[in-house]
């Protein structure tokens, strides 16, 4: 360009500007219903619960008092809520790693099968498809102290062994078996076992989907580099490639573990287990907010529940995504 020529300026035509404005307006119009539903269904209830957690409101009362952080002080000072935290964390810490590990192991085993793969998929996924409340009733019958299949099986096995070793002790063998649902030492572990049994099949399906995205060329390249054993293939190829799936599986499992309620409601509808040993947060929310109509303290537990879920989700995503390979 010579010095005498005027500079060239790029001016957008007015038609293009109008077209872009129309596109933005159309985008807002199309997304407005979804945004409105998200605000009404998701955000507004959280905000309302947060406000009610600072009050002593109950349904049916025309007025309520602002109590500040009094409801939250109760949660951290009373022994009942201490048991609630212990039961919830025990369930989450037990169910999440075991169900994720079993889901991954089952997925790897099924993925290595040539025959009967679909059969085993169906078998392991059946607990996920079953209604948990109905299965809790079935488990309640199996765990019955006198007619339950579990204690009867243990009694038969124990009696057979003791007849050979100490015959005079065989008759009293059944008396030493625990009341699975009536003993505070075992109640929470029964709930954890049922949670693992019901949840690992769902994790298995997710991991099976993740295994389909692992390219076979990666295994061939690893074999050329000297990787021979199955453990080395898993550690160097499969596990890093399953990073995104693991993030999703752990996140979903954590949320599902915090939401445990059906089993406890079916086993102990009035009290959250013997000596409050299975008094998890979801049951506490139901008891305080619905059964006792204490909306204020129920909202406080709800907000604490949401804070715990958000905190653990962010922590585990930060820890897992550090080693995620996309």
Please check whether residue 49 is in contact with residue 299, taking contact to mean a CB–CB distance below 8 angstroms. Answer: yes
Please check whether residue 201 is in contact with residue 103, taking contact to mean a CB–CB distance below 8 angstroms. Answer: yes
Percent of the chain with pLDDT over 70: 87
Which domains does the chain carry? 71-130+183-321 (1.10.3720.10)
Please check whether residue 99 is in contact with residue 253, taking contact to mean a CB–CB distance below 8 angstroms. Answer: yes
Tokens encoding 169: 């002790």
Cβ atoms within 10 Å, residue 314:
11
Mapping DSSP to helix (H, G, I), strand (E, B) and coil, where does residue 168 land?
Answer: helix
Q: Please tell me which residue, 164 or 291, carries the higher pLDDT value.
A: 291
Residue 323 — very low, low, confident or very high, per pLDDT cuts 50/70/90?
low
Look-up of token digits 């905190």: 311
Calpha distance 62→44 (Å, rounded): 21
pLDDT tens digits for range 116-174 = 778 888 888 888 887 777 787 888 888 877 777 877 777 776 655 545 554 544 454 54
Calpha distance 250→320 (Å, rounded): 9
Tokens encoding 217: 């060329």
Integer angstrom CA distances of residue 305 from 85, 88, 91, 243, 295: 10, 10, 14, 27, 15
């Amino acid at each position: 360009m010579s010095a005498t020529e005027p500079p060239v300026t790029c001016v957008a035509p007015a038609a293009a500007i109008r077209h872009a404005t129309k596109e933005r307006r159309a985008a807002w119009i199309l997304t407005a219903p979804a945004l409105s539903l998200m605000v009404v269904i998701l955000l507004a209830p959280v905000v309302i619960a947060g406000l009610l957690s600072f009050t002593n409101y109950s349904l049916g009362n025309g007025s309520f008092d602002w109590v500040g952080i009094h409801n939250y002080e109760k949660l951290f000072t009373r022994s009942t809520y201490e048991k609630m935290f212990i039961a919830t964390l025990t369930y989450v810490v037990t169910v999440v790693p075991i169900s994720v590990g079993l889901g991954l192991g089952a997925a790897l085993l099924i993925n290595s099968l040539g025959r009967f793969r679909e059969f085993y998929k169906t078998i392991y996924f059946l607990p996920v498809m079953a209604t948990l409340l109905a299965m809790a009733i079935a488990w309640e019958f199996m765990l019955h102290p006198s007619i339950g299949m579990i204690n009867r099986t243990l009694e038969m096995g124990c009696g057979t062994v003791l007849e050979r070793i100490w015959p005079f002790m065989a008759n009293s063998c059944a008396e030493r078996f625990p009341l699975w649902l009536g003993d505070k030492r075992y109640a929470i572990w029964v709930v954890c076992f049922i949670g693992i049994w019901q949840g690992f099949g769902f994790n298995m399906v997710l991991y099976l989907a993740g295994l389909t995205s692992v390219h076979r060329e990666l295994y061939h390249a690893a074999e050329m580099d000297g990787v021979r054993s199955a453990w080395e293939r898993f550690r160097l190829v499969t596990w890093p490639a399953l990073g995104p799936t693991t993030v999703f599986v752990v996140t979903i499992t954590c949320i599902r573990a915090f939401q445990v309620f059906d089993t406890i409601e079916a086993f102990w509808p009035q009290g959250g287990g013997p000596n409050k040993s299975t008094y998890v947060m979801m049951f506490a929310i139901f008891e305080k907010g619905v059964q006792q109509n204490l909306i204020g303290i129920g909202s406080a537990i709800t907000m604490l529940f949401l804070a715990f879920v958000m905190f653990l989700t962010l922590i585990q995503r930060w820890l897992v995504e550090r080693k995620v390979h996309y």
